[in-house]
Structure 1
């Protein structure tokens, strides 16, 4: 390759070198040891989620350095001014390489990772970024809320000092896509699990977890040079833990569903190597009141797989909640919504039909 080629520019070589160094640090810390992205590895010296802790806002919008890992996650189902359907994803992850990782400057031992994607029926465009903590390249402030990695930003649109996540702007981009959206909450924050304590296995692994599933979204999206005005609905998830998977769990299938009529569903299936999957579901009514679903009430059944990146990934599902009369079949907007990042997974917008109609997002890891 010619040394003057943009693909071999000093900036690109520097980015590759930084990414390699950060991945090496994650690997040496044991964070890649087992489970999806090492989330099943034991975490000596880190805090462990316990039931009964009351979440508080805006405090818990910010980082929790005593825990090993956490993420800020936004997905949006959008319709363009061209009448087509689109989806976008914005995610910021924090990984602590060791306990007491928050330090000044280059001594900080946190690694930050960003994922962004834009999806249409024909294209799934994604990007990834890494940063070290402590040097103001990435981080999260609780109030006024701001989460960022370089120029990828999720932040409040309010001017008050204590502003939380009621009114946000989110933006990200790469050479082939970009988006900028205003998000406005029309309902309350939802605590997942037992008042925010979310169990992930029979052995007791858990996270703290809350959502804001009531965002409206409006803004612009560009894909391969074509700019579209878009509007729709968005869902924000926040989780933090130190070992959210059991040692034998390899990944999960996670659904965020908006049903016609205003109700919402958060469902996940944590898959183990040998044991039966661990199921959890939360029914969220149109006003934000929640009801935890009994495990025997939930059916998550893969109906069709497709071959992506040398893996068989289920892209069509049956979702059934017997007590609520829900029996639907989900289909992806784009079956090839594969995030070919260093921690690879499938993530994309879906629609469903059957006893109820609606839309949402599906994430599948560990395949």
Structure 2
């Protein structure tokens, strides 16, 4: 058996593509499922939920260097379970995958890590907060003060994160519906991080500063069976407001959005209120991917063009997808991040 086949067998929840993107439309079975009305319990909910099938800690950042050059940064830790339980040693059914990336206007640097839970190689603890896989880490005394590190073959970063606003709950107080059939996740964000630190690229070390956005989400069947992928936007406007919006693509598209005031007050918008329309496409990794978008939330006067900083920001990972920083023009200026999944070659 070759190494690639062994990896696919060990990490099949990440690689399976039969139902929904990456198998996320698979029936929940014996795993726990989200229900409306559950109150978040912090700091415990910053940690792992092994009775749910899939979970992630997802941080993206828009930064600039001393000369004004824009950069993007990604740090993601995914947990996927074979069974709804925890465990120790090699008995654990918990699998972990980490993605790290740095995007420049002309380069996209990517690295990936895979791990089994239960042996100390990867995990998340809620208090004090610590998320890690191998030597990659996001940790601090609490979720408001974190140090973030990762290394790849041709990049590294070491940055500090400081929260300047509250956590934001999406959907119905954190219960985020994903389809007309009712699939859902628990979903909250910290969109108010300021960032300072250092990027290490082939040309040398670069001091950077900017803003970061952390997404936390867990579920056991977050997609409907027919949903083939999503287009997800996190946008920070020059006026101080922020917006999260996504389109889940299927037989009928499903949308959701959250408008975030400068003080963190969140307003949820249901299916149909948010619209994202591809305007320009780019060929990358043998796929045609939309890298220019018209994004609208009429109820808040948003009508912007979203443009990729680097159209080649393709994640060459076990489950491939597009992820990179974007700029905004139109009714609002600003920056943000775009994630696109399910674009087949």
TM bucket, shorter chain: over 0.9
Deviations 1:167-192 (A, max 9, x none): 11101011200001100000000011
Residues 222, 203 of structure 1: alpha-carbon distance in 2 compared, 3 angstrom cutoff: same
The two structures, once aligned, show a CA RMSD in angstroms of 1.6
Partner of 2:137: 153
| TM-aligned CA deviation for residue 24 of structure 1 | 0.7
1:185-224 alignment runs, 5 A limit: 185-224=163-202
| Counterpart-to-counterpart distance in 1, 2:119 and 2:295 | 45
Q: 2:211 aligns with which of 214, 228, 233?
A: 233
SS across alignment from 2:11: helix
> What is the distance in 1 between the residues matched to 2:73 and 2:301?
30
Q: Cα deviation per residue 1:266-319 (whole Å; 9 max; x = unaligned)?
A: 0000001xx221010000000000111243332211101111111111000001
- Kindly indicate whether the alpha-carbon contact (under 8 Å) linking 2:103 and 2:313 is maintained by their aligned counterparts in 1: yes
The one of 59, 62, 71 equivalent to 2:56 is 71
* 1:55 positional shift: 0.7
Q: Which residue of 2 aligns with 1:254?
A: 232
Query: Equivalent of 1:314, from 290, 294, 297?
Result: 290
In 1: Cα distance, 2:342 partner to 2:220 partner: 18
Quick one: distance in 2 between partners of 1:110 and 1:52?
Answer: 27
Q: Say which SS state the counterpart of residue 341 (structure 1) adopts.
A: coil
| Cα deviation code 1:59-91 (max 9, x no counterpart) | 100000000010001000000113200000000
Structure 1 residue 164, shift from structure 2 partner: 2.4
Larger Rg: 1
In structure 1, what is the Cα distance between the partners aligned to 2:226 and 2:5?
27
Shift of 1:166: 0.5
Give 1:91-240 correspondences, 5 Å limit.
91-100=76-85, 102-156=86-140, 163-240=141-218
C-alpha displacement of 1:17: 7.0
TM-score by length of 2: 0.96
SS at 1:48 equivalent? coil
Stretches of structure 2 that go unaligned for 5 or more consecutive residues are none
TM-score normalised to structure 1 length: 0.91
How many pairs align?
343
Deviation at 1:18, TM superposition (A): 6.8
Establish whether residue 23 from structure 1 lines up as the match of residue 8 from structure 2.
yes
